Structure 1
Amino acid sequence: MQKKLIKINPSDNVAVALVNLVAGEVIQFEGAAITIESDVKMKHKIAMTPFEIGDKIIMYGVLVGKASAPIAKGGVLTTANVLHESAKVTAKTESIGWTVPNVDKWKNRTFQGYHREDGQVGTENVWLFFPLVFCENRNIEILKDIFEKELMKPKENDYQLLLRSLVNSENGSAETAGKSAEDNLFKNIEVKFITHQGGCGGIRQDSHSLAKLLAGYVNNPNVAGATVLSLGCQNLQIQIFKDALNAINPNSKKPVLIYDQQSIGTIEAMLSSVVKDTFAAIKEANKLERTPAPLSKLKIGLECGGSDGFSGISANPTLGVTSDLLAALGGTTILSEFPELCGVEQELVNRCVEDQDGKRFLELMQWYEKTVIDAGSGFDMNPSPGNIKDGLITDAMKSAGAAKKGGTSPIVGVYDYGEYINKPGFTLLCTPGNDVECTTAMVGSGANMVLFTTGLGTPTGNPIAPVVKISSNTPLAEKMPDIIDIDTGGIITGEKSIDEMADEMLEFIINVASGTIKTKAAILNQNDFIPWKRGVSL
């Protein structure tokens, strides 16, 4: 029989409803009878003790709120009787030890990846097109139409005819135009396209931040090379982008083709050059094939979106154990979404190997919270209507569950937005909680795959990195099978353990990294890209 309640930490004074409960129902829990005061939907929280106004709400072993109205034992916690509250953290108080998991069965495993000259290994081989400024978005869209449709389907226009002639010349036949994706001339490479609304019009700092992000995408191991369009007069000058790329990897030998429209002249002249030059570069990049790589070459972003009351019990802890396994194997994992780490700062600071990393984490958190308050809001406004409806009623409650994605391994580095991560182990990256902004940032910092948990469902993907979607509950996986890759709902029903699910997760990761499994987001061609705009517009 499935349990009806679960208490996550022994010190918690609330429990989570694993099934729908009805008023008057009496549940035997931890040796005592709990009478349910009113109907409770599964995923919501039940008071294990009476609360008076101002009493602390403890969940996951940390402070997640305070009572704003009396709550009877067996009563349900709601936004009407609970307010956000989190512990104040000022410094590291202790060093937390780590029990390294046994990885004997994984240490000799490999994935089939694309090896780069700088030692990184990609899970994909992508030729990337993007603009330095939004003024070039139209030309990127033209190139997208040309390259995607000519290599996969017939499409008539002057540039397409140019590319078709090159394809026909390469293949030695006039019958190759309009090949299907399965018959694509290029077997080992994909073409992907990014557009954005930045590069000019905002403060100069925004352009420098965007330059670092785009440079991170070029340096990402999943990218073989890039075609970059510039108008010429924008804030994000070509040299700023080159400087950002050089700062990340001064010895990079990746081909980066840059075109400046105002220097070249007509769109026709520019796009003709782009098509010819890029075709030749893609043909060269297509020569690279997958070869074995150790699991230490994996860089995994950890993300959650559309979270529910089960996310912190099933899907997120599964990612946490997976993260620990990868850290023990010498891989890299990245936890971000700083607004969703509010309330768990003390544990994270104490897990930092270097004191300066703990200090930097707190400084970034304090800066972020101040900017939110200055904008007339606060971290307490973070839970979305969907979060609240499914039991995450305070930011600290949401954060305590979100942080479970980071497991228990030591934190070896703390990074600000746009900084590239080259250090193996578990790391923190300052990003917003917004699904796409966060995923965009982690990939720009080097993630060659993203694990994305959800309790409500979200289609988020990325242009260059596979995004694996993990459901916290089985009804979601059954309702939205077109976006869910892995279902951890068996943890809720008691059919599977977190460790069992983590083993399944790592096996799935190896298959995705090797190209033998395509994620649902990739099948849907879900290529989301939103830079974080920190400043104002001028």
Structure 2
Amino acid sequence: MNARVLKVHPADNVIVALRNLSAGERIEFENETYELPYAVGAKHKFVTEDRQPGEPITMYGVLVGKATQPIRRGEPITTFNLKHDADRYGLEKKEPASWQAPDVSPWQDRTFMGYHRADGSVGTRNYWVIVPLVFCENRNVLILKDAFERELGYAQPEMYRDQVHELLSLYKAGEMDVVKKMQPFVDASQNQTLQHNTQAPNRPFKNVDGIKFLTHEMGCGGTRQDSGYLCSLLAGFINNPNVGGATVLSLGCQHLQVDMISSEIKRQNPKFDKPLLLFEQQAGTEYALMSQAIKETFLGLVEINKIERKPAPLSALTVGLKCGGSDGFSGISANPVLGHLSDNLVALGGKTVLAEFPELNGVEQELINRTPDNAKAQKFITLMGDYSAQAEAVGSGFDMNPSPGNIKDGLITDAIKSAGAAKKGGTALVADVLDYAEPIVTPGLNLLCTPGNDVEATTGMAGSGATVILFTTGLGTPTGNPVSPVVKVSTNTILKNRMPDVIDFDSGPIVDGEQSIGQNADELLEYIIRLASGEVITQAERLGQDDFIPWKRGVSL
């Protein structure tokens, strides 16, 4: 890789700056010389030939926009001279595609230590979940959270509470001058909490990785459709192989009824046999509800604590592929790493899932071509079309997807962002296409309809059965999930060094020319094996970052 610039695809008419390039600088690349009239920041792109208004800009080998004004050779593309555009797609344009599986013989006999469920699935964690069917029960869920986490050793360290206590003590002593002159508290994450301890010494249930408490603002008062989707999602979380049992709290009068969740769990998984505790508050007093829930949940924890980790093949993994806080290096380093890893897992018989449909805008035809089953290809087309039309109906099309942070770091149009995001899916053929909260059952690469919104997407992946989620980021995000470990993969080493308490794995060495995509992906797979075996935990798990936001199926990009 050139130390300063890169052309991603031979057909591209833009070149990516890997370092900050100065105005007037001469760039020698592929027997061509480019003199830059303006500075080009790292992660941004300059054109290889003059462009006139209406002429295409191509990156990753696909159309990513059209010029809105003249752009001189060597000049950077910006939001002022480029607008989003993407190629049209359809089943009638479908071309045959084939895939040569990579050589995975070095991984063929590798295993991880997982929790084997009666239905044949294998979890990377053994959690108990406590969920409300309606927002009216959120308070009760949070009371249970405080009681169980403190007593059973799952509560977060109280370093911030300790800081407030120290400040309060000084205030009571009349020492406000001391408070004002105090140096900032030492960042404990730099010396002790970065240690990835997987087991607190005071936990009585050694085989229970945690109790997870979900809250939400749904279940009643919205549309029946929203309650139906919530029902499918919650059932998916309870069915997730990482969950050993569940406590469900219901008020009693809401749209989402107890019999609905019970039926949906069984519909999704006829072999379901986990402990499932159902409680309705309107059957009596709050005290009676909570006391019974505490007792029976405790007994449930005793039961799932009997389950121990045992060896499982890598084909038992279900891995979500996600990006967020993306930058101009995402499609060059971390996303292709996930794609390489996804291809390896698919070749091993595992399941991977590529979501975020607004971030597949512009690469639809490639994915259609890679879907051998025409009915599934048509399902993808319908889901994409309906989603796009819904967004446009309220004046917020896919072209409005890139955030200010994305644009600042080189993702000028949604098509540029999407073409890079799609690299997470590798090159394997598409095995299945799923709507939000549909279970992942087919080995291979699955496409799952979710928003690009970080938490709505990761929530959807876990609800469909992902047991590990790989999450690439160029800007940094703490996003986590209650039941599926979220591995934060940085696109650049600067980010890894700046946010070590958030990032788990670094793909920056690819940009720096120190590693190939394959080498970095192999290291990441080794990390996943350790993670799935419970030998390490993610930074999001360490921080207790249990983000849960159901998608209401409204417009969310």
User: Does TM, normalized by the shorter one, top 0.5?
Assistant: yes
> What corresponds to 2:76 in structure 1?
76
- Give the CA deviation at 1:527: 0.4
Are 1:252 and 2:252 an aligned pair? no
1:380-426 superposed Cα distances (whole Å, 9 cap, x missing partner) = 10000000000001000000000000000010000000111111100
1:354-390 superposed Cα distances (whole Å, 9 cap, x missing partner) = 1111111011000000000111211110000000000
Are 1:233 and 2:234 an aligned pair? no
- Give the CA deviation at 1:255: 1.0
Q: Distance in 2 between matches of 1:450 and 1:152?
A: 25
Q: Distance in 1 between matches of 2:228 and 2:57?
A: 42
Q: Distance in 2 between matches of 1:251 and 1:97?
A: 35
Are 1:362 and 2:363 an aligned pair? no
Q: Distance in 2 between matches of 1:355 and 1:30?
A: 41
1:317-346 superposed Cα distances (whole Å, 9 cap, x missing partner) = 000000000000000000000000000001
Q: Distance in 1 between matches of 2:201 and 2:402?
A: 43
- Give the CA deviation at 1:152: 2.4
| Contact persistence 1:2–1:493 (CA under 8 A) | no
User: Match for 1:336 among 355, 362, 365?
Assistant: 355
> What corresponds to 1:126 in structure 2?
127
Q: Distance in 1 between matches of 2:107 and 2:504?
A: 22
Q: Distance in 1 between matches of 2:26 and 2:395?
A: 44
Q: Distance in 1 between matches of 2:553 and 2:104?
A: 41
What is the identity, as a one-letter code, of the residue corresponding to 1:508?
Y
Are 1:412 and 2:431 an aligned pair? yes
> What corresponds to 2:538 in structure 1?
519
> What corresponds to 1:393 in structure 2?
412
Structure 2, unmatched stretches of 5+, are: 156-198
| Contact persistence 1:230–1:259 (CA under 8 A) | yes
Deviates more, 1:128-137 or 1:244-253: 244-253
Task: Compute the TM-score of the two structures, normalised by the length of structure 1.
Answer: 0.94
| Contact persistence 1:302–1:451 (CA under 8 A) | yes
Q: Distance in 1 between matches of 2:154 and 2:8?
A: 53
| Contact persistence 2:154–2:211 (CA under 8 A) | no
Are 1:267 and 2:286 an aligned pair? yes
Are 1:352 and 2:353 an aligned pair? no
- Give the CA deviation at 1:153: 8.6
- Give the CA deviation at 1:182: 1.6
| Contact persistence 2:40–2:76 (CA under 8 A) | yes
Q: How many residue pairs align between the two structures? A: 510
- Give the CA deviation at 1:97: 1.1
> What corresponds to 1:139 in structure 2?
140
Identity %: 58
Structure 1 segment 484-499 matched on structure 2, within 5 A: 484-499=503-518
Structure 1, unmatched stretches of 5+, are: 155-179
Q: Distance in 2 between matches of 1:315 and 1:220?
A: 26
Q: Distance in 1 between matches of 2:240 and 2:138?
A: 22
1:412-461 superposed Cα distances (whole Å, 9 cap, x missing partner) = 00000011111110010000000000000001000000000000000000
- Give the CA deviation at 1:481: 0.5
1:248-301 superposed Cα distances (whole Å, 9 cap, x missing partner) = 0122111110001112x1100001100111101110110101000000000000
Are 1:451 and 2:470 an aligned pair? yes
Are 1:222 and 2:245 an aligned pair? no
Q: Root-mean-square deviation (CA), in Å?
A: 1.2
What is the identity, as a one-letter code, of the residue corresponding to 1:8?
V
| Contact persistence 1:205–1:535 (CA under 8 A) | no
3-state DSSP of counterpart to 2:326: coil
> What corresponds to 2:49 in structure 1?
49
> What corresponds to 2:447 in structure 1?
428
Q: Distance in 2 between matches of 1:260 and 1:118?
A: 28
Structure 1 segment 174-189 matched on structure 2, within 5 A: 181-189=200-208
3-state DSSP of counterpart to 1:414: strand
Are 1:301 and 2:346 an aligned pair? no
Q: Distance in 1 between matches of 2:365 and 2:2?
A: 34
Task: Compute the TM-score of the two structures, normalised by the length of structure 2.
Answer: 0.90
> What corresponds to 1:460 in structure 2?
479
Q: Distance in 2 between matches of 1:462 and 1:353?
A: 32
Kindly report structure 1 stretches of 4+ aligned residues shifted beyond 3 Å: none
> What corresponds to 1:29 in structure 2?
29
What is the identity, as a one-letter code, of the residue corresponding to 2:11?
S
Change beyond 3 A, Cα 1:528–1:108: same
Q: Distance in 2 between matches of 1:211 and 1:221?
A: 18
- Give the CA deviation at 1:96: 1.3
